Structure 1
């Protein structure tokens, strides 16, 4: 098959920085058997083309992105017909994909991968904050031949909008991120890990307040926070105000190769997000044998309490309690780690690609 994937970004030509690992995993798997063309709206400011993970990447660049992206898909279709057009993320990606699919008379598909279906006005986040965005989503989703999403909470949001969708998680590339057996905790302070950009939706203030509560309770730990800082040092200042200076390290962005040793050393992954569709980092931690405790979003809702522990969003005291529970109950921590790993391995990147392929074939008939 010849496939068109429409992405907002995450496919830098270097393959390490400014990438979304789940995108690379899916592209690499599909390219093993199919002719994959990725139309990325703005990876670079100027139009360009390069090869990545076996696929041809068409960077649209600045200026009239939607119109030029649709034109680029149509032009490539004339060189050799596409079998399907897939948007990963809704919003502008779905609008481009559905318009192009209608033009070339091929099935168009949408995968919900972020905050397209929510509105969090307090932090200015979500695709449903403005009526024009809500209208665009309604038109795009109803034009799609199929809609997929990574986790049950997103499916419920789609159902509430009257949109039927299939659960299809974006899995981990096991060749690039090999499994490790869950291990027992070593002596000394617990090693905690948080992997996320420092931004409002990840709610690091709740995370830091949970850590401050653990300090007050006398729980020994060391927390590594990995992610790009978009808040100009605000979280570092808050950590200082909470007396966490010696307990928390802000490590900034790390490539996947740099991240893996930190995951391997961790006893727990801790998440504090207000919203997640997946997320991939939970699956990566699970593959590496590390269980997760965090807020009730995405896969955490699906997995808790058998393969993870989830607490109410924004409740830092509950988050501190769940972290302490797992640090004090090694048998429970290991049970969660083993079940989380089983689930992540069952739904790896090869599984994801196979599910997408089956969907494309069913629509091409």
Structure 2
């Protein structure tokens, strides 16, 4: 079976953590050997003079073709209008990608078009699939439905993509509910959770991990992992820290909230107990997660956060909000607590977990059976069903 997958979320040498979960999934698909996979990773570049910004200069210099960790990756460029052009991105991707895929399809026909994110990938995929006369699958992961599916500029495209697709995937049942609320047919949607590299994300010696990071062995350590944006809620983790004397908070990630978070830590008198680590390479996250006693991620919305899954696999319990994906995953008090976005509530939940100290093996049970191999098998089965292959 030949599959054309479109994903604007995909790592490269300059942004190695961007969409790393898509790359892990596609690597597992490629390793199976029963799918001829072509991954199209459209790169958005703004017009001059914005194109001179260092971020875009790096993207412009990426190779247009790359065999990356077993996956053939193609990177056509499309015109991007940062901040204001979201409604135009899908159309720009179609114009950039269609000539390329038409040529590839003429050389050897694809069986299916796949999109790994609903916006802008999904709407672009249904338009390209219509031209090629192929079935199309779109996967929903969280913000693509919960944010772009509600934005005035993009909501209509998200709804159209969901209605026109042959089949849909979602990482949680709560996200399926959100999709049906937008008018997408529930019978089209299949639950497809994330995967896990259990060889990498597993319990390590906590004392050695703390030594490696220069952390004291005798102090409570909290960690939060994710982009520094309002939706992830790192500010509430800092507020909780102020109510946990002696505890240390590790913040892994980059984003627009960073300056505000530094100011908040200073205002609350905890700046010396907050460590901003920047973007931590994915392969180094197990050391961070094992060094921590608790992962704190007070998100306002998620599909099924990879950070939850990876922390639990390391034997580290999670404190997050009672959003649907978390309610489905964290169903045992040994695995974590679901509390409001409130510093006092988070601090109380962390204190309870520190007092109970469930074993890492007990916490690991939350993600038993999750793997990228199982994820890839379910994905390929879904593709075959849609393509009749």
Q: Shared fold (TM-score greater than 0.5)?
A: yes
Does structure 1 residue 199 correspond to structure 2 residue 200? no
Q: How has the CA–CA distance of structure 1 residues 130 and 227 changed in structure 2, closer, same or farther, with 3 Å as cutoff?
A: closer
* 1:70–1:99 Cα contact (<8 Å) kept: no
Partner of 2:136: 108
Equivalent residue, structure 2, for 1:159: 180
Match of 2:294 in 1: 268
Question: Aligned partners of 1:344 and 1:61: how far apart in 2?
Answer: 38
Taking structure 1 as reference, are residues 205 and 179 closer, same or farther at Cα in structure 2, changes over 3 Å only? closer
Contact 1:182 1:288 in 2 (8 A): no
The correspondence of residues 42-57 of structure 1 with structure 2, limited to 5 A, is 42=43, 44-45=59-60, 48-57=64-73
2:194 to 164, 170, 184: 170
Whole-angstrom CA distance in 1 between matches of 2:234 and 2:278? 14
Q: Where does residue 189 of structure 1 map in the other structure?
A: 219
Deviation at residue 108 of structure 1 after TM alignment:
0.4
Residues 11, 20 of structure 1: 8 Å contact kept: yes
Task: Compute the TM-score of the two structures, normalised by the length of structure 2.
Answer: 0.82
List per-residue Cα deviations over 1:92-126 (Å, max 9, x = no partner).
100111112222222101111131222xxxxxxx2
**Aligned equivalent of 2:243:** 213
Q: How does 1:307-322 map to 2 (within 5 A)?
A: 308-322=335-349
Q: Is 1:222 aligned to 2:248, yes or no?
A: yes
User: Does residue 131 in structure 1 map to residue 131 in structure 2?
Assistant: no
234-243 or 224-233, which deviates more? 224-233
Q: Deviation at 1:296? A: 2.1
SS of equivalent residue, structure 2 residue 350? helix
**1:291 matched to 2:317:** yes
1:62 pairs, out of 78, 102, 114, with: 78
Q: Which residue, out of 325, 334, 337, partners 2:352?
A: 325
**Preserved CA contact (<8 Å) 1:5 1:85:** yes
Deviations 1:14-41 (A, max 9, x none): 3972432211211101111222111112
1:66 offset after TM fit, Å? 2.7
Contact 2:94 2:128 in 1 (8 A): no
- CA–CA separation in structure 1 for the residues paired with 2:258 and 2:350: 28
Do the aligned partners of 1:16 and 1:256 also contact (CA within 8 Å) in 2? no
Q: How far apart in 1 are the matches of 2:339 and 2:312?
A: 21
Deviations along 1:224-282, whole A, 9 cap, x unmatched? 11111323521111111111122211111111233222122121111111111111111
Q: How many residues align?
A: 348
Instruction: Kindly report which structure 2 residues correspond to 1:7-156, keeping only aligned pairs within 5 A, or say none.
Output: 7-12=7-12, 14=13, 17-32=16-31, 33=33, 34-42=35-43, 44-45=59-60, 48-63=64-79, 64-118=92-146, 126-156=147-177
| Cα contact 2:159–2:183 (8 A) shared by 1 | no
Equivalent-residue separation in structure 1 for 2:276 and 2:182 (angstroms):
39
Native 8 Å contact 1:300 1:308 kept in 2: no
TM-score by length of 1: 0.88
Q: Do the aligned partners of residues 22 and 298 (structure 1) sit closer, same or farther apart at CA in structure 2, a change above 3 Å counting?
A: farther
Distance 1:250 1:132 in 2: 34
1:58 positional shift: 1.0
- In the alignment, the residues of structure 1 paired with residue 348 and residue 258 of structure 2 have an alpha-carbon distance, to the nearest angstrom, of 29
- Matched residue, 2:47: none
Q: Secondary structure at the match of 1:50?
A: strand
Q: In structure 1, how many angstroms separate the alpha carbons of the residues matched to 2:267 and 2:28?
A: 46
Q: Which runs of 5+ in 1 are unaligned?
A: 119-125
Cα–Cα, structure 1 residues 92 and 26, in superposed 2: closer, same or farther, change >3 Å? Answer: same
Assess, with a 3 A threshold, how the Cα gap between structure 1 residues 211 and 295 changes in structure 2: closer, same or farther: same
Question: C-alpha distance in 2, partners of 1:290/1:309?
Answer: 9
The CA RMSD measured in Å over matched residues stands at: 2.4
Matched, 1:243 2:243: no
Aligned equivalents of 1:250, 1:315: Cα separation in 2: 21
